[in-house]
Chains A and B, each alone.
Chain A
């Protein structure tokens, strides 16, 4: 394990995370744009920041990571899409049909 490159990764990841946190916070603070635009900025920053954390802190690489780490992660992502997406879809549909 080369700890030099690892500590470099950590610092780079930290700086990227700071930027990706600052962007949505400032967007909300100064109301930079419409509600929809800010929501899109928040969502995009969150997704990118999660990827940054996975890459720089948890050391996940699509090509290099051990299958023991990568496959459970991808499976969890698929299931989260199914479960969370399904829940929102089903409950929104129910809510709509109840006239809310």
Chain B
């Protein structure tokens, strides 16, 4: 099929509907139904106006942050459905086909990984940074509010491509890493890998821009007096993570764009013939891939630091060592990428260098664990939900770290490569390390964003179900991995593995209950919000600046900017019974006006992606032209801000004080 012979629909036709398996039809119907339900709900409750001006076009960092987290939670559910389907298949597929055809099973594990990394963990993290970092540094917004909105809508557009692949066409079967030559057009000619490529590229561009935005925000917009070594730990980790985003994501853009050139235009980067170098793909992919792990986990470390210190009612132990450990991890994360492909055939010298570098990176991580332990030591620990997640993290993460050091030894790695031992290891890092961190952050900062706490009971249930569910779901996989079970098996013939796989399915079911408890917690808290309301702005007796302003904060965050002279300055002032010094200023506050540029560019990039995937060249060109035109036109506008007068602010403050 020559590309130029296609009609205006490209290669899109009726066969794109997912009629190949009843499970896929069900998934498509649920996706379409959920989308329709949201649209219908907005229409019936006449919320379109609010939705448009309050959320879609808003440039308020707190609202953009909330949209990121809502996106992350939706994608968490979608990604989890994939996960439990994998576990069910493996629990029953001993010497049988199970209930999923092989091609569909491959799509499911590919979309599971892609969604959980790019569209669950990344937006969850970006959302938390967005909401909290400006508040913690005493700023009124991020440095580039419009860029922030564009980043969000690019991420949403990538997520949209993944979701729509369930309805129109198919998703990749090449795993979340998309290794060639299998992911090349010769072996997977359909649209699946193209969906993966464009979802990843578009959201990756958004992430790079987020990284730039956060770096400039943190380095340029801190409250008066807040020197670098006075910044809260979460801000430090957000800074290091953002630096990694800016410097690591180009590798992902390059490698996925090259794969796309191979597939769409017959280039030979990674093909078997005509001088392609498939192994360079693994090399480039993991140059991004390993820093990505730390992009995800460093902010989680920051959240754990805040939570441990707040709920132990103690100053964070070894703050400078935590800062240096974070910075060292950030740099070392660029020097270990080859440990993802020890078995590819490099010589002993190469493998030894990267193996040793990998073990070295465990050292600063160990320093952090000791710092958290010493922070809790002799503290008065209040067992609220955020610290429960933290405790669970500290136990489970150390186990995962140990298996990581094992995997860093090349000979051990050769025996466990591509087995479920590896699957167990990285889930052991990412679920307790990353996800528990974000969930702790979600429960910790929820009252700041919405003005009422999440109630405790369902949160505790969720914590136990997630923790025990995780252990049941993944610790057995270490064993099956050691017994030689490869990852991504659609069917298998070794009866020895099955009991363990049934156990992991039970674990997945417990995690499902944990997710349901999260939903119940949200529901119960919204219903009882009058009892859970936070009038003080500081419900946890916490230490950092975000707790100084009201919950929820006014759109301008702080009526007067605080003047900081030491670490935990807000807490010290509370201890002394005084208030932080404020910098009063009679001038008006300038805030960004709403803008629909973000959502337009998101839509345009969706068109580019969709057009490239289906060979609808006119659509891709249309999206590209729209993008260029919108950017140029926007650059002519001057009136992008509005002012809040000092009288209005004084009125707001008086009203809040009256309400207390």
Contact = CB atoms under 8 A, between A and B. Distances in A.
A and B touch in the complex (CB under 8 A): yes
Interface string A57-100: 00000000000100000011001001100110111011011100
B3 interface: no
Nearest to B250: A83
B346 A94 contact: yes
Nearest to B248: A79
B334 A83 contact: yes
B247 A79 contact: yes
Given A79-B334, A82-B334, A97-B346, A91 B283 contact: yes
B345 A97 contact: yes
A69 B537 CA distance: 38
A68 B143 CA distance: 15
B510 interface: no
B365 interface: no
A93 B351 CA distance: 11
Q: Is the interface of B mostly helix, strand, loop or mixed?
A: helix
A20 B579 CA distance: 62
B247 A87 contact: no
Contacts of A89: 350
Contacts of A97: 345-347
Contact of A93 (B219, B284, B346): B346
Interface string B324-365: 000000000011011000001111011000000000000000
Nearest to A67: B219
B384 interface: no
B347 A93 contact: yes
B283 A90 contact: yes
B531 interface: no
B251 interface: yes
Given A68-B219, A97-B347, A90 B338 contact: yes
Contacts of A91: 277, 279-280, 283
Given A83-B251, A87-B287, A91-B279, 17 more contacts: A68-B219, A75-B243, A75-B247, A76-B247, A79-B334, A83-B334, A86-B338, A87-B280, A90-B338, A91-B280, A93-B347, A93-B349, A93-B350, A94-B279, A94-B346, A96-B347, A97-B345
A90 B247 contact: no
Contacts of B349: 93
Interface string B304-335: 00000000000000000000000000000011
Contact of A98 (B219, B280, B345): B345
Interface of A: 68, 75-76, 79, 82-83, 86-87, 89-91, 93-94, 96-98
Contacts of B251: 83
Contacts of B334: 79, 82-83
22 contacts: A75-B243, A82-B334, A83-B287, A83-B334, A86-B287, A86-B335, A86-B337, A86-B338, A90-B283, A90-B338, A90-B346, A90-B350, A91-B279, A91-B280, A91-B283, A93-B346, A93-B347, A93-B350, A94-B345, A94-B346, A96-B347, A97-B346
A86 B236 CA distance: 28
Interface string B98-117: 00000000000000000000
Ordered nearest first, which 7 A-B pairs have the shortest CB separation?
Answer: A93-B350, A93-B346, A93-B347, A82-B334, A83-B287, A79-B247, A87-B283
A82 B337 CA distance: 11
* Most chain B C-beta atoms within 10 Å of own C-beta, residue among A76, A86, A89, A98: A86
Given A91-B279, A93-B347, A82 B335 contact: yes
Interface of B: 219, 243, 247, 251, 277, 279-280, 283-284, 287, 334-335, 337-338, 344-347, 349-350
Contacts of A83: 251, 287, 334
B623 to A, nearest CB: 30
A98 B277 CA distance: 12
Contacts of A75: 243, 247
A86 B283 CA distance: 9
A83 B279 CA distance: 15
Contacts of B279: 91, 94
Contacts of B247: 75-76, 79
Given A76-B247, A89-B350, A94 B287 contact: no
Contacts of B337: 86
B87 to A, nearest CB: 35
Nearest to B346: A93
A25 B219 CA distance: 43
Nearest to A84: B287
A56 to B, nearest CB: 26
Contacts of B335: 82, 86
B361 to A, nearest CB: 14
A79 B338 CA distance: 15
B342 to A, nearest CB: 11
A82 B338 CA distance: 12
A46 B345 CA distance: 34
* Most chain B C-beta atoms within 10 Å of own C-beta, residue among A76, A83, A91: A83
Contacts of A79: 247, 334
A76 B250 CA distance: 12
A31 B337 CA distance: 41
B371 to A, nearest CB: 25
A82 B333 CA distance: 11
A81 B438 CA distance: 34
A87 B284 contact: yes
* Most chain B C-beta atoms within 10 Å of own C-beta, residue among A75, A79, A91: A79
Contacts of A76: 247
Contacts of B219: 68
B253 to A, nearest CB: 14
A90 B280 CA distance: 9
A90 B286 CA distance: 13
Contacts of B287: 83, 86-87
Contacts of B347: 93, 96-97
A51 to B, nearest CB: 21
Contacts of A98: 345
Nearest to B350: A93
A82 B330 CA distance: 14
Contacts of A94: 279, 344-346
Nearest to B246: A72
A23 B280 CA distance: 34
B567 to A, nearest CB: 22
Contacts of B277: 91
